[in-house]
Amino acid sequence: MAGDQGQGRGVRHAPLVLVAAVARNGVIGANQGLPWRLSSDLKRYKALTWGKPMVMGRKTYLTIGRALPGRETIVVTRDPGFAAPGVLVAHDLKAALELAAERARVMGADEVVVAGGGEIYAQTMALAERLLITEVALDATGETRFPPIDPGKWREVRREKGARGPRDDADFAFVEYERRGETIPS
Ligand SMILES: NC(=O)c1ccc[n+]([C@@H]2O[C@H](COP(=O)([O-])OP(=O)(O)OC[C@H]3O[C@@H](n4cnc5c(N)ncnc54)[C@H](OP(=O)(O)O)[C@@H]3O)[C@@H](O)[C@H]2O)c1
């Protein structure tokens, strides 16, 4: 997948924010689902993504199984026959980011959410302005990982300890990173 990184450079796109919940060992997914139950994070996720276009891989879309209300879902797939109710489809990353930028303008959104999964995070991290990471305080077993967050490229600008509720499997913290140095050219 490394060869695909930065595929969208030079594309006219809105600022990108990668939103993910990540275990201590970098795992984000297991068996085409989340490796934990974190009800508090899902509530925050809804608030963070509300009113914005969301770009996600076909596998992540299938784990959710529907277009999320109040947002615009753009599914990336190489399958020319893919269709699903209420979602927009793009067949490469460049097309997905262009479509998302157009939808952001129409929706009055100031950024586009990259909603995963592992393949899509890996291809968009080099293009993103911000990362909104829920650090999940456990080591998870799973096949999908978030790319390493290089402290030379990303500055932690906010950290807030989450309040663990009865429907949360672990402690967690909400962490925001901003890209160091130059902004990404649009
Ligand atoms: N913890 C979190 O915050 C979080 C967030 C999101 C997802 N997840 C988890 O992550 C896992 C899914 O991630 P994943 O890496 O397996 O899959 P993914 O990134 O969701 O989707 C991969 C698919 O996207 C399509 N795709 C990828 N790059 C493309 C490109 N450049 N052009 C066109 N299509 C492209 C392909 O679809 P086709 O095969 O159809 O061509 C590919 O199979 C699940 O376990 C999910 O629960 C976790």
In ligand 1, which atom is closest to the CA atom of 33? 47
- For residue 119 and ligand 1, the question of a CB distance below 6 A is answered with yes
pLDDT in tens, 51-93: 999 999 999 999 999 999 999 999 999 999 999 999 999 999 9
- For residue 116 and ligand 1, the question of a CB distance below 6 A is answered with yes
- For residue 8 and ligand 1, the question of a CB distance below 6 A is answered with no
Instruction: List b or e across 59-89, with b for residues whose CB sees 16 or more CB atoms inside 10 angstroms.
Output: bbbeeeeebbeebbbbbbbeeeeeebeebbb
- For residue 131 and ligand 1, the question of a CB distance below 6 A is answered with no
Query: What's residue 79's pLDDT?
Result: 98
Cα–Cα distance for residue pair 33/35, rounded to 1 Å = 6
- For residue 28 and ligand 1, the question of a CB distance below 6 A is answered with yes
Amino acid type, 36: W
pLDDT per 10-residue tile (average), the chain, 186 residues: 40 86 98 96 96 98 97 98 98 97 96 98 98 98 98 98 97 98 64
Query: What's residue 182's pLDDT?
Result: 66
Mean pLDDT of the chain: 93
What's the 76 CA to ligand 1 centre distance in angstroms?
Answer: 8
What's the 84 CA to ligand 1 centre distance in angstroms?
Answer: 16
> What pTM was estimated for this model as a whole?
0.93
Query: What's residue 183's pLDDT?
Result: 59
Domains by residue range for the chain, with CATH: 13-179 (3.40.430.10)
Residue pair 124/5 in contact (Cβ under 8 Å)? The answer is no
What's the 32 CA to ligand 1 centre distance in angstroms?
Answer: 9
Q: Using DSSP, state whether 13 is helix, strand or coil.
A: coil
What's the 18 CA to ligand 1 centre distance in angstroms?
Answer: 13
Query: What's residue 181's pLDDT?
Result: 83
- Which residues, at least 6 apart from 138, have a Cβ–Cβ distance to it below 8 Å? 23, 24, 36, 169, 170
Q: Within its chain, how far is the Cα of 135 from the centroid? A: 14
Query: What's residue 2's pLDDT?
Result: 35
In ligand 1, which atom is closest to the CA atom of 76? 34
Query: What's residue 4's pLDDT?
Result: 37
Tell which residue, 115, 80, 74, has the closest CA to residue 98.
Answer: 74
